[in-house]
């Protein structure tokens, strides 16, 4: 009797220890996994750029050549390709900002305009980069809620612009272009044209809304103040 009662007393304590160890383990995973994945991705990107760019550098201008020659070490400077790539892109940007550079760009675009398939691909790519990089762009300027895929079910979307041109004339009224991303990959999704009165603008930053989408609702952003009418602010025009 005494032995069985003693075992019963030990069993809860063992369960408590294992529960704590399991909690500590998952806490450690939450801390180390994002760091490890970030470092791994950074290393992969740097290695990929180095492997692509460094072989294009003439040996006389490559620091790795002199390291091997004078130190006798077969060692490649990590990140050298990234530095070279950033430098070259910056120099190209400075060149195209000038009169001669703009003329060269116009001539190149005129040449591409004569190539049917290449022309379409170039214009699409250029438009995407202009939309993402230029400061005056309206891309992903607000996080909103839209009713999708049916009435009463809401999804997070992002306002990209006000509907213009033929679409505005055909639809009538004020509409906005919204991008509805998929989970957990927000780079794919749907383009919707939604009446302004049918969307609810969120006060959370776009970054928080993206985190919410990627995590499938697991990572919840902090509380944000709601607009006076309880539905957030009206979409920016």
- 136 in a structural domain: no
d(CA 189, CA 180): 5
> Per-residue pLDDT tens for 64-108?
888 888 887 777 888 999 999 999 999 999 999 889 989 999 999
Indicate the pLDDT class of residue 46, thresholds 50, 70 and 90. Answer: very high
Contact in structure between 62 and 95 (CB atoms under 8 Å) = no
One domain, residues 91 and 150: no
- 186 in a structural domain: yes
One domain, residues 72 and 14: yes
Q: What is the mean pLDDT of residues 199-216?
A: 89
- 204 in a structural domain: yes
Tally the C-alpha atoms within 13 A of residue 130's C-alpha that lie toward its C-beta.
Answer: 6
One domain, residues 85 and 8: yes
The per-residue DSSP string of the chain comes to: -HHHHHHHHHHHHHHHHHHHHHHHHHHHHHHHHHHHHHHHHHHHHHHHHHHHHGGGS-GGG-HHHHHHHHH------TTHHHHHHHHHHHHHHHHHTSHHHHHHHHHHHHHHTTSHHHHHHHHHHHHHHHHHH-TT--TT-EEEEEE-SSTT-EEEEEEEEE--HHHHHHH-S-EEEEEEE-SS-TTSEEEEEEEGGG-EE--S-HHHHHHHHHTTTSSPPPP-PPPTTSS-PPPP-
Tally the C-alpha atoms within 13 A of residue 91's C-alpha that lie toward its C-beta.
Answer: 6
> Per-residue pLDDT tens for 26-39?
899 988 998 999 99
- Domain end call among 38, 72, 97: 97
Beta bridge partners of 57: none
- 83 in a structural domain: yes
One domain, residues 72 and 163: no
Q: Which domain holds residue 17?
A: 1-97
Indicate the pLDDT class of residue 8, thresholds 50, 70 and 90. Answer: low
- 102 in a structural domain: no
Q: What is the mean pLDDT of the chain?
A: 83
- 179 in a structural domain: yes
Angle, alpha carbons 172-173-177 (nearest 5°): 90
pLDDT of res. 230: 46
- 117 in a structural domain: no
Q: pTM, whole model, 2 decimals? A: 0.56
- Domain count for the chain, please give it: 2
pLDDT of res. 134: 60
One domain, residues 84 and 165: no
pLDDT at 166 over 90: yes
Specify the CATH number for the domain of residue 167.
2.30.30
> Per-residue pLDDT tens for 57-73?
898 888 888 888 888 77
- 22 in a structural domain: yes
One domain, residues 1 and 89: yes
Tally the C-alpha atoms within 13 A of residue 146's C-alpha that lie toward its C-beta.
Answer: 23
């Amino acid at each position: 009797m005494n032995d069985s009662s003693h075992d019963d007393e030990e069993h809860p304590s063992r369960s408590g220890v294992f529960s704590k160890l399991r909690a500590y383990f998952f806490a450690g995973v939450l801390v180390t996994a994002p760091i490890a994945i970030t470092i791994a991705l950074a290393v992969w990107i740097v290695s990929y750029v180095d492997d692509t760019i460094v072989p294009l550098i003439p040996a006389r201008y490559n620091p790795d050549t002199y390291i091997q020659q004078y130190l006798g070490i077969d060692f490649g400077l990590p990140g050298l390709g990234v530095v070279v790539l950033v430098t070259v892109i910056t120099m190209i940007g400075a060149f195209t900002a000038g009169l001669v550079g703009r003329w060269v760009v116009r001539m190149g675009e005129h040449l591409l305009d004569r190539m049917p398939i290449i022309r379409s691909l170039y214009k699409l790519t250029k438009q995407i980069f202009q939309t993402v990089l230029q400061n005056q762009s309206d891309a992903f300027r607000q996080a909103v809620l839209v009713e999708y895929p049916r009435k009463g079910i809401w999804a997070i979307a992002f306002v990209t612009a006000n509907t213009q041109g033929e679409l505005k004339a055909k639809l009538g009224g004020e509409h906005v272009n919204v991008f509805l991303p998929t989970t957990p990959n927000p780079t794919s999704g749907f383009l919707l044209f939604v009446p302004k009165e049918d969307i609810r603008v969120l006060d959370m930053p776009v970054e928080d809304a993206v985190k919410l989408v990627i995590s499938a609702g697991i990572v919840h952003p902090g509380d944000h103040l709601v607009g006076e009418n309880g539905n957030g602010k009206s979409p920016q025009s």
